[in-house]
């Protein structure tokens, strides 16, 4: 094969796009092509005889020494170095060098192809910084962040997720499926369905879905989940990341506020507003299931006189006592309400008139046994007792009529001297039970 003449080799070196330089065994430049000179901003006359050590920061001097130490034929060296051009600008160069020998196989130096990788390196550094920023954001975010790959395996699990769910990152990353975090495959599939539709946000995103997720030790936590699909630079899906906002505190606050809105603070019973809501639900339920439903309406006899004589603080204690008696005597399926002032309502689901009369008398007897002013020296003080009206709902009866019948039966008991139960019929009767007025 014909050899390329020296002049031809030089023409090739001067016209290739990449930098080429030759150094002697001490690291001094003996040749540099135009691309290399242009890269560093020097004329060839300025570069000849210049040491590579002068062009590289001190931290890269060991790499130059390593390159010069390769003195066996065929020993190639490839490394990335920081250089400074003539203006002091930082360059990142990839240097691929091969040792040179004379005809007597004596090491004379090396020649190298030098590639400018400054833009690539800066991009890599920016990506590293972005990754560090992202990792810092994920780590310090107060909400739980969980990321998964296409197979549903967890690849991101931040400190907040550890705190919420009880798992350590090393327990789940690369090992656990997101199905386990959601507690069921069904919920996981439902979330995936929403991500691929526009039902809860734009396609590829899920916004504000409320679910419960179980922790490591079995306790479930209410969360608001927002998630997004992740894609690579070619638009291929790589996984998804979800943000789990713990709703425990807000749900507890909601429950507390709801309780305040439906509870009477003095008696501890439900209030009148909640009475109508519960009664409507129970009427619908009893009609749907064809079960009986009864209502007790009662009023405190002589309460005003006792309140005026003993004072409002003692009057409040009597209201509290009535609430406590109801809590202790009723079933867990029953509902008790302070209807207003000294009037109370009790809803008895799946209870006929016979059972309701029994409950009414039990309430009345218990209240009478708790009366704590029998030993009061004020002989004019009349004990507080209960006048009670009981109604069982009739076929197709509406709530207002049902309440009115129980209320009228209560007034019938009061007109009869109080401290008794009156059964409400479709026409108010005068059938009395346990007429034991004091």
**Is 407 within the bounds of a domain?**
yes
Domain count, the chain: 3
Same domain, 240 and 335: no
- Out of 118, 149, 167, pick the residue that ends a domain: 118
Within a domain: 12: yes
Same domain, 236 and 90: no
In terms of Cβ atoms closer than 10 Å to its own Cβ (0-12, 13-18, 19+), residue 127 is exposed
Count Cβ atoms within 10 A of the Cβ of residue 341 and give its class: 0-12 exposed, 13-18 middle, 19 or more buried: exposed
81 and 186 share one domain: no
Report the C-alpha gap between 344 and 322 in whole angstroms: 9
Res 307: pLDDT: 86
> Is 24 among the domain residues?
yes
Q: Which residue, of 251, 271, 306, is where some domain finishes?
A: 251
Q: Are residues 75 and 171 in the same domain?
A: no
129 assigned to some structural domain: no
What pLDDT, on a 0 to 100 scale, did the predictor assign at position 379? 58
Average pLDDT over residues 140-168: 91
Distance from C-alpha of 219 to C-alpha of 206, rounded to nearest angstrom: 25
The pLDDT assigned to 8 comes to 63
Domain of residue 50: give its range.
6-118
Is 375 found in the same domain as 288? yes
Residues 219 and 148 in one domain: yes
Question: To the nearest whole number, what is the mean pLDDT of the chain?
Answer: 86
The pLDDT of residue 328 is above 50: yes
Q: Give the integer Cα–Cα distance in Å for 318 and 324.
A: 10
In this structure, the answer to whether residues 306 and 204 fall within a common structural domain is no
* Per-residue confidence (pLDDT) for residue 374, from 0 to 100: 52
Catalytic residues: 342
Q: What residues pair up with 123 in beta bridges, in sequence order?
A: none
Same domain assignment for residues 300 and 414: yes
Q: Residue 216 above 80 pLDDT?
A: yes
DSSP 371-399: ---TT-S-TTPPPPEEEEEEEEPPTT--H
Instruction: Name the residue with higher pLDDT: 102 or 336.
Output: 336
CATH number of 80's domain: 3.30.450.20
What does the pLDDT average to over 354-383?
82
Return the minimum-mean-pLDDT range out of 64-73, 174-183, 310-319, 401-410: 64-73
Would residue 133 count as lying in a domain?
no
What average pLDDT does this structure show over 2-16?
A: 68
Judge if 231 and 312 occupy the same domain.
no
Question: Is residue 369 located within the same domain as residue 328?
Answer: yes
Looking at 251, 284, 304, which one is the last position of a domain? 251
pLDDT(14) > 50: yes
Asked if 27 contacts 52 with a C-beta cutoff of 8 angstroms, the reply is yes
Q: Categorize the per-residue pLDDT at 2 as very low, low, confident or very high, splitting at 50, 70 and 90.
A: low
pLDDT at site 269: 96
- Do 181 and 241 lie in one domain? The reply is yes
3-state SS, residue 209:
strand
Cα–Cα dist 78/242, whole Å: 42
């Amino acid at each position: 094969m014909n050899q390329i003449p020296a002049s031809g080799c030089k023409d090739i070196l001067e016209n290739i796009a990449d930098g080429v330089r030759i150094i002697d065994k001490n690291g001094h430049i003996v040749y540099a092509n135009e691309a290399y000179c242009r890269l560093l901003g020097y004329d060839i006359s300025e570069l000849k005889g210049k040491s590579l050590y002068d062009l590289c920061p001190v931290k890269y001097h060991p790499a130059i020494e390593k390159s010069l130490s390769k003195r066996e034929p065929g020993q190639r060296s490839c490394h990335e170095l920081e250089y400074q051009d003539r203006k002091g600008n930082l360059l990142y160069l990839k240097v691929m060098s091969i040792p040179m020998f004379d005809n007597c196989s004596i090491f004379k130096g090396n020649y190298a192809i030098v590639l400018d990788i400054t833009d690539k390196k800066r991009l890599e550094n920016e990506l590293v910084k972005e990754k560090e920023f992202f990792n810092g954001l994920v780590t310090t975010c107060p909400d739980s962040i969980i990321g998964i790959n296409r197979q549903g395996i967890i690849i991101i699990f931040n400190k907040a997720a550890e705190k919420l769910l009880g798992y350590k990152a090393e327990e789940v990353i690369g090992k656990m499926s997101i199905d386990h975090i959601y507690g069921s495959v069904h919920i996981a599939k439902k979330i995936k369905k929403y991500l691929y539709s526009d039902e809860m946000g734009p396609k590829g995103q899920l916004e504000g879905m409320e679910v419960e997720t179980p922790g490591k030790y079995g306790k479930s936590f209410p969360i608001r989940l927002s998630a997004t699909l992740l894609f690579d630079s070619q638009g291929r899906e790589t996984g998804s990341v979800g943000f789990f906002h713990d709703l425990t505190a807000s749900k507890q606050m909601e429950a507390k506020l709801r309780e305040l809105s439906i509870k009477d603070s003095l008696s501890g019973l439900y209030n009148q507003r909640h009475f109508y809501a519960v009664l409507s639900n129970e009427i619908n339920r009893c009609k749907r299931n064809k079960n009986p439903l009864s209502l007790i309406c009662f009023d405190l006899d002589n309460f005003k006189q006792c309140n005026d004589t003993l004072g409002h603080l003692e009057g409040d204690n009597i209201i509290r006592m009535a609430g406590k008696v109801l809590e202790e005597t009723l079933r867990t399926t029953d509902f008790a309400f302070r209807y207003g002032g000294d009037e109370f309502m009790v809803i008895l689901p799946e209870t006929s008139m016979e059972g309701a009369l029994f409950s009414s008398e039990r309430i009345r007897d218990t209240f009478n046994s708790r009366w704590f002013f029998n030993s009061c020296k004020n002989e004019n003080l009349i004990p507080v007792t209960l006048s009670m009206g009981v109604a069982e709902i009739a076929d197709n009866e509406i709530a207002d009529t049902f309440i009115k019948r129980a209320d009228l039966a209560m007034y019938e008991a009061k007109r009869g001297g109080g401290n008794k139960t009156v059964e409400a019929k479709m026409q108010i009767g005068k059938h009395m039970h346990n007429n034991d007025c004091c």
